[in-house]
């Protein structure tokens, strides 16, 4: 498929000629009815052939989700239960498919905010989240969206339209809502996009300077190699027992199986984490397992203390450092205190991290003297100066000297997507894309700066050695995500959200993001449409038929249908759809994989046979794939297999970063005091709050299911608090507590435990934002309390884990959580 720049400009010129929204709104419902037959012709192509084959009314059907390959039981056209389709470690997330289809929080119809419907040009944006909702016909909603887009582009051009939509959209290669949005926006004139992610901004920016690539998404040394060759496994700031229940595509479940084998292996397991996570508890009581609890945001200081010990005891690999790295001498001057007068020894590290000197020296000895794999998570880089921890960890691993050896070195994504699974010899299914020409606009900014961008159009920020100027955004289009969960300091986001002239949201559910929109489109769940996907981001072990389980509920539409109809309005319908229905796209994606299979002599059935079989295709894993070791080729020949850095080696000192002259990110990894932490002289609040990934959700997904009964306390999100802290505050398990700071306040249910470092509390992210009239979140949304500042001028990532809060027993009348139902102010 192709579209010329000339065609794009032609469409853009048409936008300036269309009537403005008030004229559209003057039409009567009778006029809309007359227009409906014509619109029906427009919409017929995208909605026809909704399913590859007819739906099963009674029986079992295979589909997939982020939490695995599912087998759903259907009776009389309704899902009654779901479970894992393949054997593996039990995953409770796989059991609530019916909840997601039949929940009271479904958006049933196209809805428009009353003030927007009355006058789009004077729509009282301050009433977003409070205004009355009015049901409109689907065709009218399409016209409203189309008019808003055309008017915005006529006034502001592509830089007035934000479609850098971000989130964990549902699984599936066809119905990838974010790609479908960007495809439409790119073909219809361009849009403002985002860079980086909330999950990994700091690490994904810093790693190319250090090792010449992202590494966070690279295949890691495989599970079999670790089980065979590692003697010590250090799990640093990661919680794989929690996060391996999910995957970006469809989880293959292999990660949890690996950690069960690791638990039984007898290897020394060292968990470094201020909270007693699921992973910490998983290994508790196991012989040779240990738990070390530094203060939050002090990992860099702890690493420095370890490295100083290694250097002064001469228990480090000088040959590896000299051969495979550059800039160690400059870093050494910093570590030894020659640059700033502060020696970064174990005693200094103890004063910051509160890990005792004996333990620091022990870590230096045990990691150097044993084949050690350091599995580092992403949580510690979602903090102020988040670029530093993983850069420092690479430096530590370089001193240990085992990078590129079987079972040694480090890995940055053993907690994500079952990374470590050997790669199968597979044919890989593709999916939708933005089209050959991509986005004609080059406007973008880091995603974690969305509130700052909306509040301060024209502001220029530093970013990766360049300057980025925020555009003046008038229209926000969000699909496949929930920024009112993802973004930090929600009260600040609320102010920012009032700036655009129009906010359009696609969602199956009445999340806080949907409630703060102007136009809401009811979208089908992934269980109401056919799709296809690989299972296993790294293994590519299966092709999964994601079969529709039931009919689309109420007036729900697929994202593809909505954007196809908008494409018709914009005059790009044929270019957008290429004349294909979803069923035809799915078959095409499969057939492309089938071509790969034939070329590689891999046995695969034709599409009809595959779909009818109602089971995934499973590929074989070659023996050589099971022995993969990351960086082995670099270690073997650092000249022939040089890294992608300017020196070709690991850059402990970066000349490139040195030229940026940033005051918050030096040219070598180093300790910076965070904006908020427990070591401050004048703390703004008492406790350091960690907002970890939830045990029974994927961020905010699944918060509207019966899984809440497994974790909710007092009908809301639980907050974990150390038993000594709780006793001092007069708090018991089951109490409703008020958690607050200068940024906001929430209510949570107290869980008193010894599995928390003293002075630290954990309020998992992802609870649906549910404010009362004064802004108190009744459901315990952690991001009401977090800090919205950039990690540094280099990455501009988020600082979710840099937050101090107060906790007290709530004494008022406890309000009811009511976010999981339809808004009360609806006119249907």
Q: Distances from the Cα of 557 to the Cαs of 7, 462, 489, in angstroms? A: 28, 41, 32
Listed in sequence order, the DSSP H helices in 72-222 are: 97-102, 114-118, 138-156, 177-187, 201-211
- In whole angstroms, what is the distance from residue 769 CA to residue 777 CA? 6
User: Which of 391, 208, 320, 222 minimizes the C-alpha distance to 636?
Assistant: 320
Question: Up-side HSE of residue 265: CA atoms within 13 Å toward CB?
Answer: 22
383 near 688, Cβ under 8 Å? no
Burial class from Cβ neighbours inside 10 Å (0-12, 13-18, 19+) for residue 460 reads: exposed
Q: Which residues of the chain have pLDDT under 50?
A: 1-47
784: phi then psi, degrees, rounded to nearest 5: -65, -25
pLDDT at 811: 94
- In whole angstroms, what is the distance from residue 533 CA to residue 428 CA? 9
pLDDT at 827: 86
Q: Distances from the Cα of 282 to the Cαs of 255, 628, 796, 798, in angstroms? A: 14, 27, 34, 29
pLDDT at 48: 52
Q: Which residue has the tokens 């044919």?
A: 427
DSSP state of 569: H
Rounded (5°) CA angle 647-199-353: 80
- In whole angstroms, what is the distance from residue 589 CA to residue 544 CA? 12
Sign of the alpha-carbon torsion through 184, 186, 187, 190? positive
Record the tokens describing residue 65, joined without a space.
């989700």
Q: In what order do the strands lie in the sheet with 59-65?
A: 59-65, 68-75, 78-84
290: phi then psi, degrees, rounded to nearest 5: -140, 155
Q: Give, rounded to a whole angstrom, the gap between the first and last alpha carbons of the chain.
A: 41
Query: 773: which residues sit within 8 A by CB, 6+ positions away?
Result: none
DSSP state of 730: T
Record the tokens describing residue 73, joined without a space.
């039981």
pLDDT at 728: 98
Rounded (5°) CA angle 668-673-675: 125
Q: Distances from the Cα of 759 to the Cαs of 292, 384, 672, 689, 722, in angstroms? A: 15, 19, 21, 9, 7
Burial class from Cβ neighbours inside 10 Å (0-12, 13-18, 19+) for residue 436 reads: exposed
User: Which of 438, 479, 580, 486 minimizes the C-alpha distance to 145?
Assistant: 479
DSSP state of 750: E
Q: Distances from the Cα of 197 to the Cαs of 66, 446, 490, in angstroms? A: 18, 8, 18
521 near 822, Cβ under 8 Å? no
Which residues are identified as catalytic?
A: 166, 168
Q: What is the pTM of this model?
A: 0.93
486 near 782, Cβ under 8 Å? no
DSSP state of 741: E
Q: Secondary structure of 754-779 in the HEC alphabet?
A: CCECCCEEEECCCCCCCECCCCCECC
Record the tokens describing residue 784, joined without a space.
């009401």
């Amino acid at each position: 498929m192709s579209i010329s720049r000339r065609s794009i400009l032609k469409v853009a010129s048409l936008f300036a000629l269309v009537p403005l929204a008030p004229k559209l709104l003057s039409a009567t419902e009778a006029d809309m009815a007359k227009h409906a037959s014509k619109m029906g012709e427009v919409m017929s192509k995208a909605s026809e052939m909704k399913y590859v084959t007819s739906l099963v009314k009674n029986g079992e059907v295979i589909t997939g989700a982020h939490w695995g390959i599912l087998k759903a039981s259907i009776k009389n056209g309704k899902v009654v239960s779901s479970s894992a389709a393949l054997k593996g470690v039990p995953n409770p997330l796989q059991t609530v498919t019916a909840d997601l289809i039949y929940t009271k929080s479904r958006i049933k119809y196209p809805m428009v905010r009353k003030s927007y419907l009355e006058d789009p040009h004077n729509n009282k944006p301050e009433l977003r989240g409070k205004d009355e909702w009015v049901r409109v016909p689907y065709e009218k909603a399409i016209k409203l969206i189309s008019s808003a887009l055309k008017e915005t582009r006529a006034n502001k051009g592509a830089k007035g339209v934000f479609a850098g939509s971000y989130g964990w959209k549902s699984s599936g290669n066809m119905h990838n809502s974010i790609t479908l949005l960007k495809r439409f926006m790119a073909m219809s004139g361009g849009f403002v996009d985002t860079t980086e992610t909330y999950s990994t901004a700091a690490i994904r920016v810093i790693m190319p300077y250090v090792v010449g690539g992202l590494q966070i998404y690279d295949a890691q040394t495989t599970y079999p190699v670790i089980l065979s060759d590692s003697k010590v496994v250090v799990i640093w700031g990661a919680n794989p027992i929690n996060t391996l229940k999910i995957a970006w595509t469809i989880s293959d479940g292999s990660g949890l199986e690996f950690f069960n084998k690791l638990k039984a292996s007898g290897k020394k397991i060292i968990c470094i984490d201020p909270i007693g996570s699921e992973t910490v508890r998983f290994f508790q009581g196991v012989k040779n397992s240990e738990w070390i609890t530094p203060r939050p945001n002090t990992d860099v200081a702890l690493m420095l203390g370890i490295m100083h010990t290694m250097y002064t005891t001469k228990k480090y690999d000088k040959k590896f450092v000299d051969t495979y790295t550059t800039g160690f001498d400059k870093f050494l001057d910093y570590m030894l205190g020659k640059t700033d007068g502060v020696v970064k020894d174990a005693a200094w590290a103890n004063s910051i991290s509160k890990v005792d000197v004996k333990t620091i020296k022990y870590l230096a000895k045990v990691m150097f003297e044993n084949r050690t794999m350091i599995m580092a998570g992403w949580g510690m880089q979602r903090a102020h100066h988040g670029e530093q921890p993983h850069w420092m960890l690479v430096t530590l691993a370089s001193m240990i000297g085992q990078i590129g050896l079987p079972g040694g070195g480090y890995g940055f994504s053993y907690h994500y997507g079952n990374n470590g699974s050997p790669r199968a010899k597979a044919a890989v299914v593709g999916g939708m894309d933005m089209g050959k020409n991509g986005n004609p606009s080059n406007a973008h900014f880091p995603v974690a700066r969305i509130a700052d961008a909306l509040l301060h159009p024209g502001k220029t920020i530093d970013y990766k050695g360049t300057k980025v100027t925020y555009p003046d955004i008038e229209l926000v289009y969000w699909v496949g995500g929930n920024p009112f969960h993802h973004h930090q300091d929600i009260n600040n986001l609320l102010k920012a959200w009032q700036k655009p002239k129009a906010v359009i949201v696609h969602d199956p559910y009445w999340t806080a993001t949907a409630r703060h929109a102007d136009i809401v489109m009811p979208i089908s769940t992934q269980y109401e449409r056919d799709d296809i996907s690989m299972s296993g981001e790294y293994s590519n072990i299966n092709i999964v038929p994601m079969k529709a389980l039931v009919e689309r509920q109420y007036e729900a539409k697929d994202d593809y249908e909505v954007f196809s109809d908008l494409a018709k309005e914009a005059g790009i319908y044929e270019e957008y759809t290429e004349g294909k229905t979803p069923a035809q796209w799915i078959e095409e994606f499969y057939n492309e994989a089938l071509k790969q299979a034939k070329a590689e002599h891999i046995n695969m059935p034709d599409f009809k046979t595959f779909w009818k079989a109602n089971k995934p295709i499973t590929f074989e894993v070659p023996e050589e794939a099971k022995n993969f070791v990351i960086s082995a080729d670099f270690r073997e020949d650092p000249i022939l297999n040089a890294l992608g850095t300017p020196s070709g080696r690991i850059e402990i000192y970066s000349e490139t970063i040195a030229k940026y002259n940033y005051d918050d990110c030096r040219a070598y990894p180093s300790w910076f005091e965070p904006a908020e932490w427990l070591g401050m002289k004048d703390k703004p609040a008492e406790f350091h709050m960690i907002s970890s990934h939830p045990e029974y959700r994927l961020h905010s997904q699944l918060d509207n299911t019966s899984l809440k009964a497994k974790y909710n306390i007092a009908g809301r999100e639980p907050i974990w608090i150390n038993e000594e802290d709780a006793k001092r505050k007069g708090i018991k398990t089951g109490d409703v507590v008020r958690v607050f700071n200068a940024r906001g306040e929430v209510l949570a249910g107290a869980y008193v435990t010894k599995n928390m470092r003293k002075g630290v509390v954990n309020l998992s992210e992802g609870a649906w934002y549910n404010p009362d009239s004064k802004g108190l979140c009744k459901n315990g949304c952690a991001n009401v309390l977090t800090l919205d500042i950039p990690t540094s001028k280099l990455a501009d990532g988020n600082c979710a884990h840099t937050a101090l809060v107060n906790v007290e027993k709530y004494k008022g009348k406890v309000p009811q959580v009511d976010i999981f139902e339809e808004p009360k102010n609806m006119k249907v």
